[in-house]
Chain A
Amino acid sequence: MLKHQAANSRRNALRSYLGAYGFMAPAGILVIVFFLIPVAIVLYLSVTNLASSNFTSDLAKMEFIGLKNYDTLFNDQFARKIFSNTIFYVLVTLSIFNVSLALIVSLLTTHIDRNAGFIFRAMWILPRITSPVVYILIWKRMIAEAPFGIINQFNELLGQPTYNYISTNPWVFVVVVNGFIGVSFGMIIFTSAIESIPKDLLNASLVDGSSRLQRIRFVILPLIRWPLLFVVTYQTLSLLTSFVEIQLLTDGGPGLYRTEVWSLTAYHRALSNYFGNAQWGYGSAFAVLLVLIGVVLAVIYMRVFRFDELIAEPRVEAL
């Protein structure tokens, strides 16, 4: 009898154990197939010298060269430049556009007439839903040299000198072009967070004596703290890995690596027939470091922002 019960409870425990894994399985499989396996392959490639000259698709035939690629990378005179480019690009775009402007747009559009706010937000989404090629073509046409560039046509009209913007201010445009896309992500998250603050709470703040600005500072911002931290985390990582717009706009130029970022280098080295020779092994070393940086940053963010605090403490049961 007892034995039977024990077996029963063990079976139940096992069942709930398997149940938990069953529910995690779909997400787990996605992570394995689309993250862990690719990372493993790239990691393997980064310790070979696979290139177009010795191409083989047979993993066993690839030539193992240890950490030589990493050695080359750390001694690459341009790696340092590209690294600081990346930090600059991520920090500036993130802080000005993906977070600050996103916050400003969502605060403004939730404090005006609902429909007007909706239209403004819809406009900010346009850069994101436009195909990157079309979007970059629009910008290129805007900032092209005279007599083709639209801005320069206005300069001429106003009797101003014309500029070759891409060569005088490449960073301004790299940041602005990416920033305009980046705003909408934070904007959507912040707006829905602001709109889900109970109306009573917002009214209470006004009755308690706050101005609208004080209400933003003391009530709204603290209440959207988690969405804010989430956007910072998520957008840092996505800026780190994004390069399509830069590739289309400047392709890392003008000149040598002026606006080249880490992920673009990985792409250039590994895939874009660089000087007629794709260096998959070497490019993979860049990619591996990017993954490493991303994972480390994610862990740091989780620790610093204490995402575990999201779980509420229990209530006190009393009058």
Chain B
Amino acid sequence: MEIRIDNLTKKFGEVVGVEDLTLHIDDGEFVAFLGPSGCGKTTTLLTLAGIYKPTEGLIRFGERIVNQVQPKDRNIGMVFQSYALYPHMTVFQNIAYPLKLKKTPKNLQNESVRQVAGVMGIGDLLDRRPGQLSGGQQQRVALGRALVKEPDVLLFDEPLSNLDARLRLTMRGEIKHLQKNLGITSIYVTHDQVEAMTMADRIAVMSGGRLQAFDTPEELYDRPKTQFVAGFVGNPPMNFIDVNVSQSDGAYTAKTGSIRMTVPAARGAPAAEHAGAVVMGLRPEDIAIASEGEVAGEIFVVEPLGREDLIDVRVGEHSFILLANTESRHRAGERVALQFDMSQVQFFDPQSERSLLWRQ
């Protein structure tokens, strides 16, 4: 089912939930809504589900305008962060509930529930109540309940946020696998950019009720169109510093205080055109500690992540976050030199926060 959202606005009195959202989702696509808490992701999802009526704008499922269609007539499956299982029903009754409402014959209900429960690996829990299940099991039941009616659209509202890290990893893979197998158009809300990056075909980055960007994970990562997107996508986040970019003899240089960095012409030229200071963005993986390099600094803190160390290096008043091999055993207080891979550098207009490299 293709979903087209045009100029969607939802207000709660004076409070804006989501504003002027335009988004076209292809049939069978897996789209993630990514953004910080309170940016309007849930509001958008519940408006798609028909729980909220849009204040303005159009929502179309295929050719059908669904603005005024009741939730029960939208054929949607939804998974909630809180699982939202009915505590007074058994697992079987929970999963069968959508079928019971559709007045599906009892024997077919039985068959479908058992099949879905088998797929979700909860076939032996059908007689339990939700209160007797672990978080992971509850999430599987919730997923089963969403799938059992063979929905046209699947909506996920931060379904894995309440699970522990390991389970989250497993479920992430399972959901993605399931979605690809079934080919159901899915929208997956999350504030976790790793989830969005790993699962989605395209990511809609939202902030303050507005759509910031809608693109594939690779595009968002390599060619972020706004500083917000650049900072939000990627972990650890991109480093930003204010610099002046100038050109002399065809060579471009980014300068601030004592720091001087050579910028490739393709990226330096648009930045140099901009009058005054610009915001330079460098990803942690593009910075390395070297015995000698362009910039000297001091290690402020080392955070071991297991496979790597997250290191905060201070250069004057600037701070650079980077990742280093644990074997190099760096310590706080150590004086080091930094090397920058400037081929991936980003530049943003400090006023509009738009990219100087990738225009919309």
Contacts and interface: CB of A to CB of B under 8 A. Distances in A.
Interface of A: 198, 200-201, 203-211, 214, 218-219, 222-223, 225, 312-319
Given A204-B78, A211-B72, A314-B132, A223 B87 contact: yes
Nearest to B145: A208
Interface string B63-78: 0000000111010111
Interface residues of B, number: 34
B88 A207 contact: no
B82 interface: yes
B131 A312 contact: yes
Nearest to A318: B134
Contact of B51 (A201, A203, A316): A203
Contacts of B129: 313
B137 A203 contact: no
B72 A315 contact: no
Contact of B101 (A200, A208, A223, A318): A208
Given A204-B80, A219-B86, A210 B72 contact: yes
Given A198-B82, A315-B131, A214 B167 contact: no
A201 B84 contact: yes
Interface in B79-126: 80-82, 84, 86-88, 97-98, 101-102
B295 interface: no
A316 to B, nearest CB: 5
A312 B149 CA distance: 30
B5 interface: no
B132 A206 contact: no
B17 interface: no
19 contacts: A198-B82, A200-B80, A201-B86, A203-B46, A203-B51, A207-B51, A208-B101, A211-B70, A218-B97, A223-B86, A223-B87, A223-B88, A312-B131, A313-B131, A314-B132, A315-B133, A316-B134, A318-B134, A318-B137
A318 B50 CA distance: 35
Contacts of A198: 82, 84
Interface in B122-154: 128-129, 131-134, 136-137, 145, 149
Nearest to A207: B78
A200 B84 contact: yes
Given A200-B80, A204-B78, A204-B84, A319 B134 contact: yes
Contact of B102 (A201, A209, A218): A209
B243 interface: no
B280 interface: no
Of A209, A210, A317, most buried by chain B (CB within 10 Å of CB) is A209
Nearest to A200: B84
Contact of B134 (A201, A203, A208, A317): A317
Contacts of B134: 315-319
Contacts of B86: 201, 204-205, 218-219, 222-223
A174 to B, nearest CB: 37
B136 A210 contact: no
B49 interface: yes
A319 B50 CA distance: 33
B273 to A, nearest CB: 50
Nearest to B129: A313
Given A314-B132, A318-B137, A319-B136, A206 B101 contact: no
Contacts of A210: 72, 101
Please provide the 4 A-B residue pairs with the shortest distance between their CB atoms, ordered closest to farther: A200-B84, A204-B84, A209-B101, A206-B71
Nearest to A206: B71
A202 to B, nearest CB: 9
B98 A316 contact: no
Contact of A209 (B72, B87, B132, B133): B72
A261 B81 CA distance: 54
Contacts of A211: 70, 72
Given A203-B46, A210-B101, 12 more contacts: A201-B84, A201-B86, A203-B78, A204-B84, A205-B97, A206-B51, A207-B72, A207-B74, A207-B77, A313-B129, A315-B133, A316-B132
A16 B81 CA distance: 41
Contacts of B155: 207
B145 to A, nearest CB: 7
Contact of A313 (B77, B132, B136): B132
A218 B129 CA distance: 16
A209 B46 contact: no
B137 A319 contact: yes
Nearest to B99: A209
A219 B86 CA distance: 7
B101 to A, nearest CB: 4
B288 to A, nearest CB: 40
Interface string B35-54: 00000000000100111000
Nearest to B76: A207
Contacts of A316: 128, 132-134, 137
B354 to A, nearest CB: 37
A178 B299 CA distance: 78
Contacts of A200: 80-82, 84
A223 B80 CA distance: 19
Contact of A222 (B78, B84, B88, B132): B88
Contacts of B71: 206-207, 209
Contacts of B136: 319
